[in-house]
Amino acid sequence: MEKKTKNDKLAGMTYAQLEKEASAVLERLQKGDLGLDESKKEYDYGKALHAEMEKRLEQMIAEVRDKVKEG
């Protein structure tokens, strides 16, 4: 059985799910009750979420521009 990577997991999520997960990460970090190692893991996960969301937004913008050019 092949193990899914974090990027595979993120790629399978909807944009709304990514937003929800990013908000949950932010809440956990803002609480301030995580240890250093756990905070680092959450921070890295948050960065991965942000990168996936940004990638998708850029793809959507490109698609809209292409549609407008096709006119």
Q: Is the pTM of this model over 0.85?
A: no
CB 46 within 8 A of CB 25: yes
- Residue 5 is predicted with a pLDDT of 74
Q: In this structure, what token pair is assigned to residue 69?
A: 């050019």
Q: Nearest 5 degrees, angle CA 15-CA 40-CA 38?
A: 95
Would you say residue 3 lies in a domain?
Answer: no
Alpha carbon distance 42, 26 (integer Å):
8
Q: Is 14 helix (H, G, I), strand (E, B) or coil?
A: coil
Would you say residue 36 lies in a domain?
Answer: yes
- Residue 2 is predicted with a pLDDT of 58
Question: What residues make up the domain containing 21?
Answer: 15-70
Alpha carbon distance 1, 3 (integer Å):
6
Per-residue pLDDT of the chain (71 residues; tens, 9 = 90+): 556 677 789 999 999 999 999 999 999 999 999 999 999 999 999 999 999 999 999 999 999 999 999 87
Would you say residue 49 lies in a domain?
Answer: yes
Would you say residue 58 lies in a domain?
Answer: yes
